């Protein structure tokens, strides 16, 4: 995938999750979901951005692992939103699907980066 398109996709995901979180309400459950989902979804965008500026292949692979973890965690929180009827159902479903797709993309990217490190370790 084109790096700029992926950057835009991660950024849009973060922005869309922020918009969703503004609609979740103000009870205890909403507060927990909002805090955790905001952290995870914005972490996808910020760590993906940081991976593009990695100083080494090892740092790049490490950043991709963080992006993968944050995307997967976002999907988990969106699953909870869906199960508890929080947020507009269609919006939550769409964001959950996007989180799943980002998880798959970054899972493959991390696997490739890890394989490349094993083939050609840093400094060789």
CATH code at position 17: 1.20.1440.60
pLDDT grade for 46, boundaries at 50, 70 and 90: very high
**pLDDT of amino acid 122:** 65
Residue 123, domain member (yes or no): no
Q: What is the mean pLDDT of the chain?
A: 95
pLDDT at 124 over 70: no
**pLDDT of amino acid 103:** 98
Which sign does the torsion angle of CA 108, 111, 115, 116 carry? positive
pLDDT at 120 over 90: no
Range of the domain at 53: 3-118
Residue 82, domain member (yes or no): yes
**pLDDT of amino acid 123:** 61
pLDDT at 71 over 90: yes
**pLDDT of amino acid 1:** 72
Q: What is the pTM of this model?
A: 0.92
Round to whole Å and give the CA distance between 8 and 20.
18
Residue 124, domain member (yes or no): no
Contact 120, 61 (CB under 8 A): no
Can you spell out the DSSP letters for 12-59? HHHHHHHHHHTTS-SSHHHHHHHHHHHHHHHHHHHHHHHHTT-SSHHH
Residue 116: CA atoms inside 13 Å, Cβ hemisphere, count?
Answer: 14
pLDDT at 111 over 80: yes
Q: How many domains does the chain have?
A: 1
Residue 33, domain member (yes or no): yes
**pLDDT of amino acid 3:** 87
Measure Cα distances from 65 to 6, 22, 104 in Å: 16, 28, 12
């Amino acid at each position: 995938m084109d790096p700029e398109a992926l950057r835009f996709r991660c950024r849009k995901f973060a922005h869309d999750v922020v918009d969703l979180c503004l609609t979740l309400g103000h009870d205890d459950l909403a507060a927990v979901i909002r805090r955790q989902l905001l952290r995870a979804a914005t972490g996808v965008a910020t760590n993906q951005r940081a991976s593009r500026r990695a100083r080494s292949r090892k740092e790049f692979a490490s950043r991709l692992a963080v992006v993968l973890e944050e995307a997967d965690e976002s999907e988990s929180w969106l699953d909870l939103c869906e199960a508890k009827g929080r947020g507009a159902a269609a919006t939550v479903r769409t964001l959950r699907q996007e989180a799943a797709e980002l998880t798959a993309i970054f899972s493959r990217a991390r696997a490739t980066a890890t394989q490349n490190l094993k083939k050609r370790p840093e400094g060789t």
